[in-house]
Structure 1
Amino acid sequence: MWKSRYIVSNWFKMNLSRVYFVLVILIVSFNDNVVSGINGGDLNINYINAQNENGSTLLHGAVNQCDANMVRWLIVNGAMVNIQNSAHDLPLHIAVRIDCVEAVKILVENDALLSVGDENMNTPLHLAVIGNNENVAQVLVAKRSGMDIKNKAGNAPIHTAVLFGFLNITVLLSEHNASLNLQNKDLNTPLHLAVMKNDYEMVKILIHMGARLNIRNGLNQLPIDIALERSYLGVSALLLDCGTDINAKDKDSNTLLHASVIRNNYIVVKLLLSKKADLNIPNNEGLLPIHSATFDNNEEMLQLLLDNGANVNSESTRYETPIFTAIRKRNWKIVNFLISKKADLLVKGADGNAPIHISVLNEELSITQLLITEGADINVSNLKNETPLHVAIRRNNAAIVKLLLDSNANLMMENSQGETPLLLALRTNCIEIARLIMDSAKGINGTDSDGNNILHLAVAKNYIEAVKMLLDEKVDLEAKNHDEDVPLLIAVAKGYQVIAQLLIGAGANKSVTKQNGDSLLHLVVHNGDTKMIKMLIENGADLETKNGIGDSALILAVWLGHIEVTTQLIVSGANVNVKNRDGNTPLLLAVIKNDAKLVKLLLEKKG
């Protein structure tokens, strides 16, 4: 017997474990008289809630022994039911862990908290689920409290039940208002988790109890997306049969079928096709499943799609068929397969490119050869009026240029800039390719629809370096187009002095005239180009040549009112007294035109 409450208090604190041991021994025999004696004398009941070094109270200890009588006695005598020890355990957590149903009932009846978590934030209900303790769980769910509280892992009890595959507890939770569509920290619903576990029966039960099929998780996945991605065929079929939208789209607008094709998952694609998945829904890139099937070297997948109604010539939103995609992926085998299935080689995409344009653009020699062999049009033009040969030149790919030349590509077709392949090669300084074209049978001597040869065209575009190269190749300087124009006439008419001088220097006929009889000087007078006139005169142009209506260059200059040109012609020696076919001299024409400046000039020069 202690002499004071102070002594009792300190003894109790220092010997709590011993007291607990004594109580446990007493609990084992549970002698009412002894317990009553403790209550009335030696042990002060005010210390019944004291905690040991682990933070546990006598109630924690009694619960751990699963002694319902002692648990009840302690509570009746003031034990607090909601004290947590250093592991954050309530007495209720311990009771649930050891499956002590009676202790659980007593604690719950005495207002033990159901929403408090342990060190992992697991509530008593979480622990009951983890232990698959259905009887304990029934006691806890009857209170309908803390049903949807999440633990440290972000899972509510129903998520935990599904993850462990405990069907009965999952049903029990659902029947007591646990949310079937609650999302965990990864935004997975119980149905997502059941699908991840490939738990057919769990999926079936969740759907039967009302789980929604169309909720997306943090990865934007529906339950069906997970099932298909993992090739869980049974679960996939179940989800589809229970109402999942078979044409549901992901963030890239890929349908289930499209995504499965991209993953190259043959058995899943086969399942979806058996469920009538739509073959003709484009994704964000405008591609259909059959386009995406060309990404991999998988003829079997393509054949499966074709056997189920896919069109080998289905167009994307850019009007491109699967063969375009196969070519872009540089997949010779698939290109060959599609051709064997009657892929259209003449179809054009939104930019007017045919499959052969894309092949050349990608510098795919073997695919280009295949397309030519199978009947592709080598002279097809795109929206820029460029043929495959133009494209090959832009890529500076001599091997493909040679292939196209050997296949008789048209060398005189012009793009929207008026360039033939050779002109393009010359302008872009593709010298090797230019040589290839010039060495071909039609490279230099061929003509376009207007009768222009390559020199006409180079002159017309003022491509000085191209003209130099052509002159080195001894191209015909006097070839005439359908307007009877030789290259020099074009150069002079357009005012291209450098090229005109190059042509004259190479031996071009300076006396050449147009169909109407206009000489080179007449053409320059029309343009009022004094520099060109000077160059022509220095190179021996005849000042007195008359055109078809009998006008000399001077008469034409006066009639057009070109005082500077008139001055230059006179200074260069033109006859000021020359007459036109009507007998009019330059002076008389100036008077008729009432041009005082010209009259004055001619009078001065005549005098």
Structure 2
Amino acid sequence: MLAAGNDAQEYGDYKQEDSGQIRRDKTVQLLLNNEADIHLCSEDGTSPLYIACQCKYDSTVQLLLSNGANINLCENEGASPLYIACENGHDSTVQLLLNNGADINLCTKDKASPLYIACENGHDSTVQLLLDNEADINLCDDEGAVPLHIACQNGHDSTVQLLLRNKANINLCTKNGVSPLYVACYNGDDSTVQLLLNNGADINLCTKDKASPLYIACENGHDSTVQLLLHNGADINLCEKEGASPLHVACQKGHDSTVQLLLNNKADINLRTENGVSPLYIACENRFDSIVQLLLSNGSHINLCTTNGFSPLYIACENGHDSTVQLLISNRADINLCSKDGASPLYIACENGQDGAVQLLLRNGADINLCTKDGVSPIFIASENRHSRTIQLLMNN
């Protein structure tokens, strides 16, 4: 193994008639003539043939094969000599192995094929060589990802084009329902997205959680990708399994420009999730005041509540987002709008000791004695939670 991987460099003024390659092969042959075990591997399962393929020492590879080396002997993680040659883009070594009967679809333990690893690294000539030798273009790894997935993930457009020309399944999804287009949109790789769309990718193909390519582009704030998808007819209101739309996730992540882009393209501004959460509610929950203002300016319903009756003002008060509270009050939010159990914005602010919100609410006419359905008042809940400053504030009012 040491001989098979030796680069046999010259040092100083030492002169040698034979080249490094010739000396390497002479050493290998000498050892084999003296009954060296050709399959004796290192601790990680690396064989002499594997090392020679990794280093692109084709003459040594041929020598080992001629002496009976197992061409498909894998290291401990299941990588074969062909796999390591493909990983490094050693086309001449790949061709040599294929000519000698290497298993072209032999995968690692996590089911990554030689074609998969060549696509991951963008070795187009290696990819073409494997395809010309009938490698399985849609062979999946453990997660169900195919070579097209990994090429899209790494932005290797020429590799993507090569795979598509050879009839890779453009809409083949992983076990979680992730399509190649979804992967490209996740990364905001517009050139790959356009390439996939031009070749007939399903623009609204969702994951198992019902997240669309547009949804994931919005989640990551990839505005140019969002625009590209919308221009090609993506469903702007297509929701994931819990009812969150692309606008919801853009508001949740605080992507102002993405929110504006969606609103410009007529996204449903009052679309609610299964729990009744609106885009405005989620922006208030996360204290994204610029988005709150943007939504209100575009006609968002300021008092739209969740299924439990929690309003945007309620959630802002609960979290002590004073600037958001002020913004909502300035836009005429219902200051006494209660939840289903009768808890008002003032009540929840008192329960959590959010004194800034309490002061704002009282200054703007909140009912200081408005009780829950069980008769619990704001001052009672403040006392129960030992918020002494909140109690004093209520007493002063």
1:260 & 1:586 partners in 2: Cα distance? 73
The partner residue of 2:313 within 521, 524, 531 is 521
Q: 2:218 touches 2:246 (CA, 8 Å); kept in 1?
A: no
Corresponding position of 1:510 = 302
Length-normalised TM-score, structure 1: 0.51
Residue 401, structure 1, aligned to residue 193, structure 2: yes
Counterpart check, 1:296 vs 2:91: yes
SS class of match (1:546): coil
The answer to which of 543-552 and 326-335 deviates more is: 326-335
Instruction: Say which one has the larger Rg.
Output: 1
> Match for residue 168 of structure 2?
374
The residue identity in structure 2 corresponding to 1:525 is: C
Determine if the alignment matches structure 1 residue 570 to structure 2 residue 388: no
- The equivalent of 2:129 in structure 1 is 334
Shift of the alpha carbon at 1:273?
A: 4.0
Alpha-carbon displacement from aligned partner over 1:434-455 (angstroms, at most 9, x marks no partner): 2121234444222222221101
Name the CA distance, whole Å, in 1 between partners of 2:295 and 2:54: 66
1:338-391 C-alpha deviation (Å, 9 max, x unpaired): 4x2446621259xx96422332222223224146x3336643389xx9763355
Is the aligned partner of 1:548 residue 2:340?
A: yes
1:119 alignment partner in structure 2: none
| In structure 2, C-alpha distance between the alignment counterparts of 1:426 and 1:603, rounded to whole Å | 47
1:221 alignment partner, SS class: helix
Aligned equivalents of 2:284, 2:129: Cα separation in 1: 55
Instruction: Find the aligned partners of 1:379 and 1:603 in 2 and give their Cα distance.
Output: 62
The 10-residue stretch of structure 1 (518-527 or 549-558) with the greater mean CA deviation from structure 2: 549-558
Q: How does 1:203-602 map to 2 (within 5 A)?
A: 221-223=24-26, 243=35, 246=38, 254-255=48-49, 258=52, 262=56, 269=62, 273=65, 275-281=67-73, 288-291=80-83, 292=85, 295-296=90-91, 301-306=96-101, 310-315=102-107, 320-327=112-119, 328=121, 329-331=123-125, 332-338=127-133, 340-342=134-136, 345-347=139-141, 354-360=146-152, 361=154, 362-363=156-157, 364-370=159-165, 373-375=167-169, 378-380=172-174, 388-389=180-181, 391-393=183-185, 397-405=189-197, 406-408=200-202, 412-413=206-207, 421-422=213-214, 425=217, 430-582=222-374, 586=378, 598=390, 600-602=392-394
Distance 1:256 1:313, change over 3 A: closer
Post-superposition offset of 1:534: 0.8
In the alignment, residue 26 of structure 2 is paired with which amino acid?
P
Name the counterpart of 2:6.
none
Structure 2 CA distance for partners of 1:396 and 1:558, relative to 1, 3 Å: closer
Relative distance call for 1:348 and 1:186 in structure 2 (3 A) is: farther
CA drift of 1:546 comes to 2.2
Taking a change above 3 Å as real, the CA distance of residues 509 and 580 of structure 1, as seen in their structure-2 partners, is same
Q: In the TM superposition, what is the alpha-carbon distance from 1:398 to its structure 2 partner?
A: 3.1
Q: CA–CA distance in 2 between the matches of 1:244 and 1:550? A: 85
Gaps (5+ residues) in structure 2? Answer: 1-12
1:436–1:297 CA distance, 2 compared to 1 (3 A) = farther
Q: Which residue of 2 aligns with 1:175?
A: none
**Residue 281 of structure 2: SS of its match in structure 1?**
helix
What's the CA shift for 1:284?
A: 12
Q: How has the CA–CA distance of structure 1 residues 290 and 545 changed in structure 2, closer, same or farther, with 3 Å as cutoff? A: closer
- The Cα offsets for residues 538-595 of structure 1, whole Å up to 9 and x where unpaired, read as 0110112222122332344344444432222111122335454355655666677776
**Post-superposition shift, 1:463?**
1.6
Structure 1 distance, partners of 2:140, 2:377, is 65
**Larger CA deviation: 501-510 vs 273-282:** 273-282
Whole-Å Cα distance in 1 between the matches of residues 47 and 364 of structure 2? 78
**CA-to-aligned-CA distance 1:179-224 (integer Å, 9 cap, x gap):** xxxxxx9597xxxx8xx69xxxxxxxxxxxxxxxxxxx89862515
Secondary structure of 1:435's match?
Answer: helix
Q: Distance between the aligned counterparts of 1:590 and 1:347, measured in 2? A: 56
Which whole-Å deviations, capped at 9, do the CAs of 1:69-122 have from their partners, x for residues lacking one? xxxxxxxxxxxxxxxxxxxxxxxxxxxxxxxxxxxxxxxxxxxxxxxxxxxxxx
The corresponding residue for 1:122 is none
8 Å contact kept, 1:460–1:491: yes
Letter in 2 for 1:530: D
SS in 2 for 1:544: coil
Give identity over the alignment, percent.
24
Contact 2:98 2:104 in 1 (8 A): no
User: How many Å apart are 1:468 and its aligned residue?
Assistant: 1.8
Indicate if the aligned counterparts of 2:161 and 2:195 stay in contact, CA closer than 8 A: no
**1:579, 1:585 within 8 Å by CA — same for their partners in 2?**
yes
Q: CA RMSD in A?
A: 4.6
Q: CA distance change for structure 1 residues 514 and 260 in 2, over 3 Å: closer, same or farther?
A: closer
Contact 2:56 2:93 in 1 (8 A): no
Following the alignment from structure 2 to structure 1, what is the Cα–Cα distance between the partners of residues 326 and 276? 25
Q: Is the 8 A contact 2:349 2:355 kept in 1?
A: yes
